Chain A
Amino acid sequence: MADRTLLGVYKEPDNVADAVSRLRQAGFGDNDFDVLSGTPYPEGTFGEQVAPHRLFIFPLIGAICGFSVGLLITAGTQLSYPMVTGGKPLLAIPPMMIIMYEGTMLGAILFTVIGVIFESRLPRFSLGVYDTRITEGYIGVLVACPPERAGYTEQLLREAGAEEVKSDQRGA
């Protein structure tokens, strides 16, 4: 079971790509390591695999909920308290559409914001192993490994050109 986390800090993007290749060759899976960067490199720059996200589900669910509430309120009230005016249809579609549109938008917006927070794993307060130089252009490679492989992983990260390797159990 992985209970050690190592962070290799790199200055050059090429070294990061090299580290990712070495980790793969050493048997690490895509879920065992991550790349940390303060710069939005295009997806796959370092050969990393980015797991597909599910953010689109959030606005979709929000929109469906909002639309349903809008429909329920408008159609429900008119059908529950029918007031036929001048022989016109009971359901007044144009104002219903406005309320349903608004409900759809409100639901989609709310759920998107919630989705961004949860899908980014932002509810966590702790950063774990981190180096503030990443903000200045350095790139980190974060590896989770079993304690017995920590030494080997650290060596692997250093061989790829890491300027420093940090661990979550320095004193251990």
Chain B
Amino acid sequence: MHEPRPHHIDPRPHLPETPQALTVDLLGRFSRQGISGPLVVSGILLLVGLVGFLMRLGGGFAQREVWGYYAATFVWVLSTAQAAPIIAVATRLTKGYWRKPMIRAAELWTVAGILNLLLLLPLLALIPPLEGRRTFWVNWQGAPQVVVLLGMIGLVACGLGFLYTSALPDLGAARDKATGGPRGLIAALARSWAGTPHQWKIMRTGITYLGIFYLMMLVFMHFLVSVEYAITLVPGWRDPVFPAFHAISSLQAGLATIILTLGLYRAFGGYRQYLALDQFWNPAKLLMSFSLLWFYFWWSGFIVFWYGRTPAETGVLQAVIFGPYLLPFVIGFICNFVAPVGLLIWNPIRTSIKGPIFVSLIVLVGNFFDRLRIYGGSFLVEPFGHEVEHVPPAHLPELADFLVIFGAVGGVVFLYLLAMRIFPPVSLWELKENQILTRARSLVRAQVVVIGKPE
């Protein structure tokens, strides 16, 4: 007797059986993808965000607390869209076979960095002078601005290089066979890609290098942003765990971004047969692990301040947890730890498609509120002195803040959709590799899949 399967959905995608059928199917979908509607809607949102951006800019930089929502939005994009490509890097390095249909969806999020680089520019003016506050920049005026800006440029350049290198074979395929999209641009980007063994080798090595560099730069950026825009702005905040918490919670949100993106690919993108249970169940396991790590890292930092109880430490807790931003903290805590763990611990939810998508949505909302309590609180207090003297009431969001938040979401989606018109949104070469390296075999009375892993 067969044991009943733990789920009723076939875990593996049903893909066309020959490379020719796969190429025709995927490039056909790429050529006729109907994304004009979402492109227009997200473009309008981007324009709305631009209005909010100009309104916020018009208010000047004298009152740092009004920029709290703006800063939270910038860090939210850094923590979600810009962290999503890490899933492509990690699953490729660990040779996770289930990654293949979903990897391009993750890589395409690197384009969100272009918008976030622009969002960063006004924030550079909000780093206060170095005198009279804790900073490791000694007397180097302007150093934090230059280092943060160069770090962001490096992250964006690395991401775009990673996407381009990984998509080269598919650009070559689109040059040869696609009938839609900006064909001139695609041909220019594909250049003389012909698929020689040497080119394949360079491409593989290149994406390994650039993927690792992207991970190193993303963690570095989280370190810089969390130090320059949070820790050093709150007197008395001495917490070496916080940058690590920042990076870990970003990986959690990046994973949630990918799962949600895959849900949209499946529901509206026409890629239902390419994205099966495997592409949701496996990331859901990781999402649960990262949700536990979220708590572990947050707790490790929190406990020092909670039991320390010096005036400086209680001041920090008031500024970023228990003070005016208590509600965002509670929402973040529930959405980033309690709800994901409480839901994903159940097999029927974790071993499903809709369950991880729903949990991902919760995590993304939670991540925004978590960033809001950190940066809203940090921008609220005076950065000078040895401890927080006074925590003012929370700055309530204004029209400009709402416009910036919606505009940022619209902007990253707009860039993603534009990128989908140039780069095939499902990696053709990864799936072709899957075809030649995967075979169904009988094992006594069971059917198993044998996966070849060269190298």
Contact = CB atoms under 8 A, between A and B. Distances in A.
B202 A116 contact: yes
27 contacts: A34-B197, A35-B197, A36-B194, A39-B433, A40-B200, A43-B201, A53-B201, A59-B209, A102-B154, A105-B213, A106-B150, A106-B153, A106-B157, A109-B158, A110-B157, A116-B161, A116-B202, A120-B168, A120-B198, A122-B193, A123-B191, A128-B192, A128-B194, A136-B23, A137-B19, A137-B432, A142-B194
Nearest to B431: A39
Given A50-B201, A116-B206, 19 more contacts: A36-B194, A37-B195, A37-B197, A38-B172, A38-B173, A40-B204, A41-B436, A42-B437, A50-B197, A98-B147, A102-B150, A106-B157, A109-B157, A112-B213, A116-B210, A119-B202, A132-B176, A135-B177, A137-B432
Interface in A9-36: 34-36
A117 to B, nearest CB: 8
A39 B151 contact: no
Given A102-B154, A135-B177, A116 B203 contact: yes
B429 A40 contact: yes
B24 A136 contact: yes
A95 B136 CA distance: 6
A160 interface: no
Contacts of B437: 42
A56 B216 CA distance: 17
A61 to B, nearest CB: 13
A81 to B, nearest CB: 10
Given A85-B139, A116-B203, A122-B192, A136 B220 contact: no
B438 interface: no
A58 to B, nearest CB: 9
Contact of B205 (A40, A48, A53): A53
B202 A137 contact: no
B150 A39 contact: no
A108 to B, nearest CB: 6
Nearest to A132: B176
Nearest to A83: B139
A17 B165 CA distance: 28
A38 B27 CA distance: 13
A27 B194 CA distance: 25
Interface of B, helix, strand, loop or mixed by DSSP: helix
B138 A92 contact: yes
Interface string B413-455: 0000000000000000100110111000000000000001011
Interface of A: 34-43, 48, 50-51, 53, 55-56, 59, 83, 85, 92, 94-95, 98-99, 101-102, 105-106, 108-110, 112-113, 115-116, 119-128, 130, 132, 134-137, 140, 142
B137 A95 contact: yes
Contacts of B248: none
Interface of B: 18-20, 23-24, 136-140, 143, 147, 150-151, 153-154, 157-158, 161, 164-165, 168-169, 172-173, 176-177, 191-206, 209-210, 213, 216-217, 220, 224, 429, 432-433, 435-437, 452, 454-455
Contact of B202 (A36, A38, A55, A136): A55
Contacts of B433: 39-40
A99 B147 contact: yes
A55 B197 CA distance: 14
B19 A42 contact: no
B187 to A, nearest CB: 9
Contact of A36 (B19, B143, B196, B452): B196
Contacts of A112: 161, 206, 209-210, 213
B194 A130 contact: yes
Contact of B210 (A113, A119, A120, A132): A113
Contacts of B201: 43, 50, 53
Contacts of A99: 143, 147
B194 A134 contact: yes
Contacts of A53: 198, 201-202, 205
B455 A42 contact: yes
A137 B194 contact: no
B432 A85 contact: no
A16 to B, nearest CB: 11
B275 to A, nearest CB: 21
B169 A136 contact: no
A119 B198 CA distance: 8
A122 B165 CA distance: 11
B17 to A, nearest CB: 11
Contacts of B432: 38-40, 137
Contacts of B204: 40
Contacts of A41: 436
Nearest to B429: A40
A85 B203 CA distance: 50
B197 A43 contact: yes
A109 B210 contact: yes
A138 B143 CA distance: 55
A124 B172 CA distance: 14
A102 to B, nearest CB: 6
A127 B157 CA distance: 27
Given A40-B169, A109-B157, A120-B168, A127 B192 contact: yes
A120 B147 contact: no
A137 B25 CA distance: 13
